[in-house]
Amino acid sequence: MANLISKYVIPGCRVDLQAINRSAIQMDAGGQRKSHQSKVLDILSEDRIEISMPMEKSKLILLPIDGEYDLYFYSDNGLYQCYARVVDRYKNNSMYILVLDLISNLRKYQRREYYRFSCALEMNSRQLQEEEISFTDQGKDKLIPELPLKSSVVVDISGGGLRFVANYAYEEQSMILCRYRLLINGQAKEYNLVGRVLSVKELENRKGVFEHRVQYVNMDSEEREEIIKYIFDEERKALKNQKG
């Protein structure tokens, strides 16, 4: 979906903001990224909007200039999501206003979880041993090192899980170790994440190839935010290339 925000979002609709910049991220009591509620005041262009400064318990939340946020718009046509950067803030009469530039495409958001980013990423995995499963809440240092891994390809990734295809199939609800690398701040970083296999199905057009949906288990919040930031950076690169 292109950035035709005026087609899907109108002044007055609610918008939730979640910080993307690591230094600005706040967590709520449930361990999730904290949201700030606001409303759309004006659509200045297809790439720029004005919203009211969010408030919490009658106190203004002064979001910083150049702060980058994950936006969720509640319109009559459904829920829409994009990323945006604060480029200005000012007071008009008694109202405090934020000006934001959209820095990703606006997209229909089907689920209030994590946006899944399509990719083709090499991954190695294995099923956890019985003695490892009981220690999954105590950190990855309890995993048995150097056990053989099997190769696969991640086809989409999010801060909450991933989907991969392989020429083998795990059992549903089995616990697996997922090992892959992402480019974080210009450096390749290896991730060793534990996940639960939610579903497995054989692809109709590729016999012997199985699609797995995996949800991370007891994931470190810092690693989760790194993955979300990676997805954000890749989306921004794709948008720049598209515009170029």
In this predicted model, what pLDDT tens digit does every residue of 173-190 receive, in sequence order? 999 999 999 998 888 999
> What would the pLDDT profile of 58-85 be if each residue is shown by its tens digit?
888 889 999 999 898 988 777 888 899 9
Pairing of strands 48-52, 55-56: unpaired
Cβ(22)–Cβ(127) below 8 Å: no
C-alpha dihedral, 234 to 239 to 241 to 243, nearest 10° = -170
pTM of the model: 0.57
The whole-number pLDDT of residue 138 equals 56
The C-alpha atoms of residue 92 and residue 187 are separated, in whole angstroms, by: 44
| Intervals of CATH 2.30.110.10 along the chain | 5-108
Mean pLDDT of the chain: 85
User: Which residue do the tokens 């936006």 mark?
Assistant: 71
The whole-number pLDDT of residue 176 equals 95
Is residue 162 pLDDT above 90, yes or no?
yes
Percent of the chain's residues with pLDDT above 90: 48
Across the range 119-123, mean pLDDT stands at 95
Cβ(134)–Cβ(143) below 8 Å: no
> What would the pLDDT profile of 34-48 be if each residue is shown by its tens digit?
788 999 999 999 999
Per DSSP, 27 falls in state: B
The C-alpha atoms of residue 172 and residue 231 are separated, in whole angstroms, by: 27
CATH 2.40.10.220 fits 117-243, yes or no: yes
Per DSSP, 178 falls in state: E
| Intervals of CATH 2.40.10.220 along the chain | 117-243
CATH number for the segment(s) 5-108: 2.30.110.10
Q: Which residue has the higher pLDDT, 61 or 24?
A: 61
